[in-house]
Structure 1
């Protein structure tokens, strides 16, 4: 399993009049989690795109448990449990500074050839980076 943790602080513009994070913002937090995971592997999104691969979002699931508030320090845990094929599934847990689980989520992104705009399998350059985190069965 591939796992990465990143932190961020809730900004004022991400909250409503009551100081609570707007529900739509969590999808952006998920994006921070997965882009930082790739960056940690030495593959920022810009490099993946230079290699001719696009990663459009095809699914987004969010379960809201508690509210995050202005100035909270959030921990975003991002997981990839299964070795990707033509799609990659990310799971997320977002915690506040007290360790309370606020949000659980999941996204699925498809691998797309940037030139043909057609689905493709995980490219070798990315598979090689993440393979060490999975056993021989792809788990």
Structure 2
């Protein structure tokens, strides 16, 4: 399985008064890791958006297992959990410096033409991206 690892250093602004990372920041870390995954696969969200296609999150699920505090470093692992022409589910695992999984989850994405609510197929707009995702999801 093709998996990327993205290091995140906890910033003070991401924590509450107790120094614990606020739960919504994990979502941002997953987005950073997903963007890194896409770039390491050879593509860029910016190219997709320049072509008038957006990729909104339609579902996200995170399981919090252990707190992360300032100034820890974590690794966000990301991969393709599931792929079809209309939908991609990315998997995530957030691991602390001791190797403990502190959170895991998935995010589900579709593609839309900007201004439309109707999903479009990745293979029709970005065939190279589609072929690569087929390859990566089969590993």
TM-score of the two chains, using structure 1 as the length reference: 0.89
Distance 2:117 2:65 in 1: 37
Deviation at 1:20, TM superposition (A): 0.4
1:57·1:108 contact (CA, 8 Å) conserved in 2?
yes
Structure 2 stretches of 5 or more lacking a match? none
Match of 1:88 in 2: 88
**How far does the alpha carbon of each residue in 1:9-29 deviate from its partner, in whole angstroms, 9 at most, with x for none?**
000100001110001111101
Which residue of structure 2 lines up, in the alignment, with residue 127 of structure 1?
Answer: 130
Which of the two has greater helix per residue? 2
Superposition RMSD in Å: 1.7
Matches within 5 A, 1:41-60: 41-60=41-60
How many pairs were matched up?
136
1:23-34 pair list within 5 angstroms: 23-34=23-34
Contact map agreement 1:53 1:113 (CA 8 A) in 2: yes
Deviation at 1:115, TM superposition (A): 5.9
Unaligned runs of 5+ in 1: none
Shift of 1:58: 0.4
Measure the CA separation in 2 of the matches of 1:46 and 1:108.
19
> Shift of residue 5 of structure 1?
1.2
Summarize deviations over 1:26-83 as a string: whole Å, max 9, x none.
Answer: 1101101101101112212111212332100100111110011111111001121333
State TM-score, norm by structure 2.
0.89
Structure 1 residue ranges (4+ consecutive) displaced by more than 4 angstroms after TM superposition = none
Partner Cα distance (2:56, 2:17) in 1:
32
| Counterparts of residues 101-120 of structure 1 (less than 5 Å) | 101-114=101-114, 116-120=116-120
